[in-house]
Structure 1
Amino acid sequence: MRSWAVVPDFTHHAHTASLSAIAVNSRYVVTGSKDETIHIYDMKKKIEHGALLQHNGTVTCLEFYGTSHLLSGAEDGLICIWNTKRWECLKSIKAHKGHVTSLSIHPSGKLALSVGTDKTLRTWNLVEGRSAFIKNLKQNAHIIKWSPSGEKYVTVITNKVDVYKLDTASITGTITTEKRISSLTFITDSILALAGDDEIVRLFNCDSQKCLCEFKAHENRIKDIYSFEREGQHVIVTASSDGYIKMWNLDINKIKNLPSLLGKVDTKARLTCLAVWFDQALEVKENPDKAATTSPANEEEKSLLVRKDCWTDKNDKKAKTDGKNTPEKRKLETPLKKKKKKLKSSE
């Protein structure tokens, strides 16, 4: 297997403090910092696109949904919803009484989850624009993440991962490690990779909670981990306090075999967060057949189903606390589906 060469492409010193969060979509990279700002970079033009100044506190989490929207969370307790066409803040909502520590958008774009230092897990209905459900936790969670299919989600409290099932909103299993967990990523819907305050990457089965394999990835603690699949190849990317970014090839059919190193680069910096951006134009050039799989209709379906006029501060009072009628059990009709029905009736 050939190795991957890693070279610097675009460097810009924009923040006045260290970076705390990063997210990417097909065109932009956004970074959040302890300086309370979010900076935007246009990767096609290789320029800084501007800054977002809505938060008053360290920006703790960022996540894109498709090409149309960005969600941000910070220590001020706010979650902001941004339109990425005009970079307009559609709504700034008081999500948690303490800091927002992590957020995750459901693959459908209908729901988002967030956790904070007020010991709550909150579900946000992005179709109707309201807080839909509040679950009290025994401790503060610092990571939350949906699985690729959206059928399950996980929360991390110190060194413990709780696996939740979507349809019941209940814990189906718990994974515990010796060290604090700093980052995680889903390899598949059932395989979870964990990185923590040591040099080891551990792969677990979400259903059985058994450790499938582990390997030493760095010489210092791992700060962030990312995974993607490309042409049938599963790749894990790790960033460490030792300054190295490394890429690993994982054969999920032979999961007990240790991943092989594809490439590495010494950034000579103390890394804090990581994201992977793909040059789609280059991918299409290398694989022309891939261009045929992307259409305007597909892009429309990927857009986040948020309507600006439905976000009101009063909506937060409608939240249900630890009830059986969770929003996950309700069928949510999206504006996109309504639009399709209207078009069909007009024919």
Structure 2
Amino acid sequence: MAAAAMEVVAGCYEQVLLGFAALPAESWTVVPDFTHHAHTASLSAVAVNNRYVVTGSRDETIQIYDMKKKIEHGALLQHNGTITCLEFYGTSHLLSGAEDGLICIWNTKRWECLKSIKAHKGHVTSLSIHPSGKLALSVGTDKTLRTWNLVEGRPAFIKNLKQNAHIIKWSPDGERYVTVISNKVDVYRLDTASITGTITTEKIISSLRFITDSILAIAGDDETVRFYSCNSQKCLCEFKAHENRIKDIYSFEREGQHVIVTASSDGYIKVWNLDLNKIKDAPSLLCEVNTKARLTCLAVWLDQGSEMKENCDKTATSSQANEDEKSSIVKKKKVCWTDKSDKTAKTGRKITTKKRKLETPLQKKKKKHNSSE
């Protein structure tokens, strides 16, 4: 049986989106697949769904890539400021946040901006969509945590924070969420909206992922990845992953195997196998690649046709009933999110660029060689 398609995508300061084909087998390998120079400034955010990869940049644009066809699909203009966060909800919607304080809701079928919300008085620093699709959370530099009713497209609740939070994340089951302020992680319960525990690290936290509903992978301004229990707030395991600070972590599950991908300022992307039955043991290294770039953000695109599934902010195991419920929620959102009277949404547009193929690293070298002649 052929290996399922999998692509590690990473943004960097060099204004390039890097793609690496990951080949899971008895011996994993990650090989350079494409490079794309779509932005005019460094990349700041990347998100994936089963078809597209989107990137955000300091150049205030969002670029779209069709991974099925391996082509550049176009660009989105709505924000005035660095794109700080991007997150898909399934195949139907994309949410974007930026330094202009806006959260934009995009329809991914026609790539229209359905709604543009003035979410924060300062920058939007992070956002996260509840697995049900009914709620979203956002934090910003106005020291607030805001809850959004996505069914009706309106604010639901505002909580004042003592400091600016720079990361917010739902657990896969949607029963809790976490905020990150500097080197501190506060764990909240959804039903009470109160803090149930706090995790404190020595360094400023740069990236955080839920591995399960109760286990967090945390990385900061050092070369170490740590796993923490949300229930006890205790460190379950820590290991040296890189030679420099870690910029981003991504995780997913493949055929029962928990895989973690890390990107570092040392230029390396590394793929790890985590055995949850031996959580106290350091993960084993599956493979690595030296990108020779100053990495900023990371994601893994998984082919829908594969048996892989994402383990990033989505329920790890779901019944058909849950899928039916999600389907009905999406239908509701299509009606409620699309507000034709919202004048701010009408200015959003897609740049209809020529659909260019993503160039391979070899093509890139040839171009440089020809230009030198």
| TM-score scaled by length of structure 2 | 0.78
CA contact (8 A) 1:101 1:115 kept: yes
Aligned positions, number: 305
In structure 2, relative to structure 1, the CA distance for the partners of 1:255 and 1:79 (3 Å cut) is same
User: Which residue pairs with 1:147 in the alignment?
Assistant: 171
User: Which residue pairs with 1:161 in the alignment?
Assistant: 185
1:45 and 2:69 matched: yes
Unpaired runs of at least 5, structure 2: 1-24, 309-319, 343-373
User: Which residue pairs with 2:109 in the alignment?
Assistant: 85
Q: 1:303 aligns with which of 330, 350, 354?
A: 330
CA contact (8 A) 1:77 1:100 kept: yes
User: Which residue pairs with 1:326 in the alignment?
Assistant: none
Q: How does 1:129-148 map to 2 (within 5 A)?
A: 129-148=153-172
User: Which residue pairs with 1:227 in the alignment?
Assistant: 251
CA contact (8 A) 1:10 1:46 kept: no
User: Which residue pairs with 2:228 in the alignment?
Assistant: 204
1:126 and 2:153 matched: no
In structure 2, relative to structure 1, the CA distance for the partners of 1:131 and 1:161 (3 Å cut) is same
1:75 and 2:99 matched: yes
| In structure 2, C-alpha distance between the alignment counterparts of 1:298 and 1:150, rounded to whole Å | 15
1:181 and 2:236 matched: no
After TM superposition, give the deviation of residue 46 of structure 1 in Å: 0.4
Unpaired runs of at least 5, structure 1: 285-292, 314-347
In structure 2, relative to structure 1, the CA distance for the partners of 1:216 and 1:77 (3 Å cut) is same
CA contact (8 A) 1:20 1:33 kept: yes
| In structure 1, C-alpha distance between the alignment counterparts of 2:340 and 2:104, rounded to whole Å | 11
| In structure 2, C-alpha distance between the alignment counterparts of 1:302 and 1:183, rounded to whole Å | 30
User: Which residue pairs with 1:14 in the alignment?
Assistant: 38
CA contact (8 A) 2:115 2:338 kept: no
Aligned partner of 2:305: which letter? Answer: A
Q: How does 1:88-99 map to 2 (within 5 A)?
A: 88-99=112-123
After TM superposition, give the deviation of residue 303 of structure 1 in Å: 3.2
| In structure 2, C-alpha distance between the alignment counterparts of 1:168 and 1:138, rounded to whole Å | 19
| In structure 2, C-alpha distance between the alignment counterparts of 1:244 and 1:302, rounded to whole Å | 40
| In structure 2, C-alpha distance between the alignment counterparts of 1:311 and 1:170, rounded to whole Å | 36
Instruction: Show structure 1 runs of 4+ deviating over 4 A.
Output: 296-299, 309-313
Paired residue secondary structure (1:162): strand
After TM superposition, give the deviation of residue 183 of structure 1 in Å: 0.4
Q: How does 1:268-307 map to 2 (within 5 A)?
A: 268-283=292-307, 300-301=327-328, 303=330, 305-306=332-333, 307=336
| In structure 1, C-alpha distance between the alignment counterparts of 2:191 and 2:112, rounded to whole Å | 34
In structure 2, relative to structure 1, the CA distance for the partners of 1:268 and 1:298 (3 Å cut) is farther
| In structure 1, C-alpha distance between the alignment counterparts of 2:180 and 2:341, rounded to whole Å | 30
Q: How does 1:208-219 map to 2 (within 5 A)?
A: 208-219=232-243
| In structure 2, C-alpha distance between the alignment counterparts of 1:223 and 1:121, rounded to whole Å | 23
Q: Which has the higher contact order (CA 8 A, sep 6+)?
A: 2
Q: Quote the sequence identity (%).
A: 83
Aligned partner of 1:7: which letter? Answer: V
CA contact (8 A) 2:134 2:329 kept: no
After TM superposition, give the deviation of residue 304 of structure 1 in Å: 7.3
CA contact (8 A) 1:65 1:302 kept: no
Deviations 1:327-347 (A, max 9, x none): xxxxxxxxxxxxxxxxxxxxx
Greater strand share, structure number: 2
In structure 2, relative to structure 1, the CA distance for the partners of 1:241 and 1:34 (3 Å cut) is same
| In structure 2, C-alpha distance between the alignment counterparts of 1:267 and 1:67, rounded to whole Å | 30
CA contact (8 A) 1:80 1:90 kept: yes
Paired residue secondary structure (1:163): strand
Paired residue secondary structure (2:272): strand
Query: Cα RMSD between the aligned structures?
Result: 2.1
After TM superposition, give the deviation of residue 279 of structure 1 in Å: 1.9
After TM superposition, give the deviation of residue 148 of structure 1 in Å: 0.2
After TM superposition, give the deviation of residue 9 of structure 1 in Å: 2.0
| In structure 2, C-alpha distance between the alignment counterparts of 1:246 and 1:164, rounded to whole Å | 31
User: Which residue pairs with 1:255 in the alignment?
Assistant: 279
CA contact (8 A) 2:132 2:326 kept: no
| In structure 2, C-alpha distance between the alignment counterparts of 1:174 and 1:131, rounded to whole Å | 26
CA contact (8 A) 1:143 1:157 kept: yes
In structure 2, relative to structure 1, the CA distance for the partners of 1:16 and 1:164 (3 Å cut) is same
After TM superposition, give the deviation of residue 300 of structure 1 in Å: 3.1
| In structure 2, C-alpha distance between the alignment counterparts of 1:246 and 1:213, rounded to whole Å | 18
Aligned partner of 2:337: which letter? Answer: K
After TM superposition, give the deviation of residue 302 of structure 1 in Å: 7.0
| TM-score scaled by length of structure 1 | 0.84
Aligned partner of 1:85: which letter? Answer: K
